[in-house]
Each structure stands twice: as C-alpha cells, then as structure tokens.
C-alpha cells in the first residue's frame, strides 16, 4: 500500500523549459514534505521542502507546490538544465510516527 506515489517513472524535457514532477499521497497525517535528487551510485541529496502549513516554497530554480485538499505536491524546475538529469524522490513525514516515507521516484532527463 503505497502512501506516497509518483506515477510518472520518467520524464524528458528540453533544456531551458520547465520540468514538472508530481507526487500524490494518501496519509492525512503527513505534515512535512521533501524532494530529493539522486545521481547513480550516490546517496539521495536534499533539494527542497515544504511544511503542510504552506502551499508554496521557492529556492532559486526550484519551487514546490502543495495542494493539501488534493493531497498532491509538485516540483517545478525552471529553467531545466542538463545537470538536473537525475532521479527525483518525493518524501513525506508522518506526524504521528515521524517516519519518512518515500515515493518510487521519477527519472528526469533534460535534453541539451
């Protein structure tokens, strides 16, 4: 029973365009959401996060949007760069158990 879902296993985007990665969740106890980026043979690295009391957080080219009523969050990368090519995981923290649950990941490929 996947509590955090990333329904797109892969995404290809042209350099300079916007990349939009989506994530859905089912657990209403999640109160903190994060995006991680992972290159091959490396551990995941933190990218950006958002608290459940906010609906948007921006950091440079990266913006995360949270729609609590739809239990949906998205990561926007503008403009996309070839170095952004990686696997992106969304994660959510359960405010009751403090477990961090990850999605299945989306492989982003930015084409030069």
Partner 1 sequence: NAGVTQTPKFQVLKTGQSMTLQCAQDMNHEYMSWYRQDPGMGLRLIHYSVGAGITDQGEVPNGYNVSRSTTEDFPLRLLSAAPSQTSVYFCASSPSDRLNTEAFFGQGTRLTVV
Point out which residues bind partner 1 (CB under 8 A): 6, 9, 32, 34, 36, 41-46, 49, 51, 89, 91, 93, 97-105
Shortest distance, CB of residue 49 to partner 1, whole angstroms? 6
**How many angstroms separate the CA atoms of 18 and 81, rounded?**
10
Question: Is the Cβ of residue 22 or residue 49 nearer to partner 1 in the bound state?
Answer: 49
Burial label for 77, CB within 10 Å (0-12, 13-18, 19+), is buried
**How many angstroms separate the CA atoms of 64 and 75, rounded?**
5
Shortest distance, CB of residue 36 to partner 1, whole angstroms? 8
Shortest distance, CB of residue 107 to partner 1, whole angstroms? 11
């Amino acid at each position: 029973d996947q509590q955090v879902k990333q329904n797109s296993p892969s995404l290809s985007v042209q350099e300079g365009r916007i990349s939009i990665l989506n994530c859905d969740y089912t657990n209403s106890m999640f109160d903190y959401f994060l995006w991680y980026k992972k290159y091959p043979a490396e551990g995941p690295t933190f990218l950006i996060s958002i608290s459940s009391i906010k609906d948007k957080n921006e950091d440079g080219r990266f913006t995360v949007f949270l729609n609590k009523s739809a239990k949906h969050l998205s990561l926007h990368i503008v403009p996309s760069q070839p170095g952004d090519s990686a696997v992106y995981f969304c994660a959510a923290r359960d405010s009751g158990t403090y477990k961090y649950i990850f999605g299945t990941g989306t492989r982003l490929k930015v084409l030069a």
